[in-house]
Chain A
């Protein structure tokens, strides 16, 4: 058992080595990709920045506080995409026959999907932006870096990654039922994420309910940033929500995993 676990870590490292080797075949393209991902996400922030030149704040959140809120999204996504790219792009993995190949190998299917795909371009682009925003905003919003805060931060980022990983896992499971899942992903990940870049308190009640209880993106950035910022709009939600991101993450991941197991039996291997 122990030997097998060592072997698994070994394999993950070897997979990363292979991905990075392949990546270095096209150096210029790699740099351009990371840069364009950075720019794409920075574009969203530029829009908010320009908007707040006229308006000063959105529902009491100024630009520094919003940047702090955004930084959680980008930091979690950059970690997410190192581990969960295979699920984000699962539609292609199925269509080009790679999934059949995974099923023919004596390893866990999910392990192979996760280990053999990492989008380092997005990881660097998002990560770079996340760190930049975090550094720019954290001082301005007076975050005190005690040991407790650092531990809270680490666990929360972990939970935030798992929440988003679960969404990818559920959407990937739907590939067993639908040929194309691109638009499902657009709606249930990207659209939901574009809500979550803003404080959820600005949205109608129904959207808030969705973001807290159905696709719990609020636990990725809104509630965690309230731990540091204590904005007045937190009054509308139970205080406990600030602390439970890791639990929410583990719970939804477990549910998503069960759904995956059930859906796997419906795999049809659509042929050539």
Chain B
């Protein structure tokens, strides 16, 4: 176990190296949030609320979802890089589970991102634009649980993209397509309250809204406790489905790698 903690620590320390990068990353995220908010301010005009949704709720959605999606950035190319430079076999020889070591590395980076990107971003945007506080202590805790589940879903989707490099030479395209789909369907570019009904019907059958939008609804308190439980069930079901899928891909991918000789 302690060896994985070491992975987390090293990943965290590596992120500390580039200072200018870090500051610009915060600026970039803030600008992106600022653009979305500026557009929606114009859209709202003098309206206090539209379809029971206030402008502040829209802003809170953008800050949390775009801030977190920047912090939750997972390297989709981790396995591909190892396959290309031939070091993937070394990973199988080490006395650690390769997949958990990737997760540990991601956790280290994300821990850094949450402190160095997400917190300053929330701080800055709440000063200049203003975000809503969580709707209560219980909701904060429920939000925390939900966002962790959301992250696991995001991570599993990424790991499926990563593992597709067992079959194709370059996962760039798949990674890009995945990012577009998550961007549009998770509510981080357009709050799902304003998504056309027909698109929402489709989203209901996908895991994407449970990455950011469901946690944010819990944060804002727009859904009841009963509904929250239903959301948890949905998140857990998606985790089970995605995990099984990634297990299967891992099994066959590894086999393929061994057959081909890496």
Asked if A and B touch directly (CB within 8 angstroms), the answer is yes
Please list the residues of chain A having a beta carbon within 8 angstroms of any beta carbon in chain B.
26, 28-29, 32-33, 35-37, 39-40, 42-44, 46-47, 50-51, 53-55, 58-59, 178-180, 182-184, 186-187, 190-191, 194-195, 198, 202-204, 207
Known contacts A40-B180, A202-B38, A50 near B199 by CB under 8 Å: yes
Nearest Cβ in chain B — how far from A214, in angstroms? 14
Nearest Cβ in chain A — how far from B14, in angstroms? 13
CB within 8 Å of A: which B154-191 residues: 168-170, 172-174, 176-177, 179-181, 183-184, 189-190
Q: By the criterion CB–CB under 8 Å, are B173 and A186 in contact?
A: no
For this complex, 29 residue pairs linking A to B, each with C-beta atoms less than 8 Å apart, are: A26-B169, A26-B170, A29-B168, A32-B173, A32-B174, A36-B172, A36-B180, A39-B176, A39-B177, A40-B180, A43-B181, A50-B195, A50-B199, A51-B43, A54-B194, A58-B42, A182-B21, A183-B20, A183-B24, A186-B24, A186-B25, A186-B28, A187-B27, A191-B32, A195-B31, A195-B35, A198-B35, A198-B39, A207-B38
Of A33, A53, A198, which is within 8 A of B173 by CB?
A33
How far is it, in angstroms, between the C-alpha of A55 and the C-alpha of B18 when the chains are bound?
42
B residues less than 8 Å from A203 (CB atoms): 38
Residue of B nearest to A26 (CB): B169
B residues less than 8 Å from A54 (CB atoms): 50-51, 194
Of B32, B176, B177, which is within 8 A of A194 by CB?
B32
Q: By the criterion CB–CB under 8 Å, are A36 and B176 in contact?
A: yes
How far is it, in angstroms, between the C-alpha of A37 and the C-alpha of B38 when the chains are bound?
26
Q: By the criterion CB–CB under 8 Å, are A50 and B190 in contact?
A: yes
Known contacts A43-B183, A184-B24, A50 near B42 by CB under 8 Å: no
Nearest Cβ in chain B — how far from A74, in angstroms? 15
B residues less than 8 Å from A179 (CB atoms): 18
Give the contact-size bracket for chain B.
35 or more
How far is it, in angstroms, between the C-alpha of A183 and the C-alpha of B31 when the chains are bound?
13
Q: B196 an interface residue at 8 Å Cβ cutoff?
A: yes
Interface contacts beyond A36-B174, A59-B42, A204-B38: sample of 7 additional A-B pairs, CB < 8 Å, sorted by A: A40-B176, A51-B194, A183-B21, A186-B25, A187-B27, A191-B32, A194-B35
A residues less than 8 Å from B173 (CB atoms): 29, 32-33, 35-36
Please list the residues of chain B having a beta carbon within 8 angstroms of any beta carbon in chain A.
18, 20-21, 24-25, 27-28, 31-32, 35, 38-39, 42-43, 50-51, 168-170, 172-174, 176-177, 179-181, 183-184, 189-190, 194-196, 199
B residues less than 8 Å from A183 (CB atoms): 20-21, 24-25, 28
Residue of B nearest to A41 (CB): B180
How far is it, in angstroms, between the C-alpha of A198 and the C-alpha of B173 when the chains are bound?
27
Q: By the criterion CB–CB under 8 Å, are A187 and B28 in contact?
A: yes
How far is it, in angstroms, between the C-alpha of A54 and the C-alpha of B28 when the chains are bound?
28
Shortest 8 CB-CB contacts between residues of A and residues of B: A183-B24, A32-B173, A43-B180, A36-B173, A36-B176, A191-B31, A202-B42, A47-B189
Of A33, A190, A198, which is within 8 A of B172 by CB?
A33
Residue of A nearest to B172 (CB): A33
Q: By the criterion CB–CB under 8 Å, are B190 and A191 in contact?
A: no
How far is it, in angstroms, between the C-alpha of A207 and the C-alpha of B32 when the chains are bound?
13
Known contacts A39-B176, A198-B39, A50 near B194 by CB under 8 Å: yes
How far is it, in angstroms, between the C-alpha of A56 and the C-alpha of B196 when the chains are bound?
13
Nearest Cβ in chain B — how far from A129, in angstroms? 13
B residues less than 8 Å from A207 (CB atoms): 38
Nearest Cβ in chain B — how far from A114, in angstroms? 23
Nearest Cβ in chain A — how far from B179, in angstroms? 7
A residues less than 8 Å from B21 (CB atoms): 180, 182-183
B residues less than 8 Å from A190 (CB atoms): 28
A residues less than 8 Å from B183 (CB atoms): 43
B residues less than 8 Å from A194 (CB atoms): 32, 35
How far is it, in angstroms, between the C-alpha of A54 and the C-alpha of B101 when the chains are bound?
46
Q: By the criterion CB–CB under 8 Å, are B31 and A55 in contact?
A: no
B residues less than 8 Å from A178 (CB atoms): 20
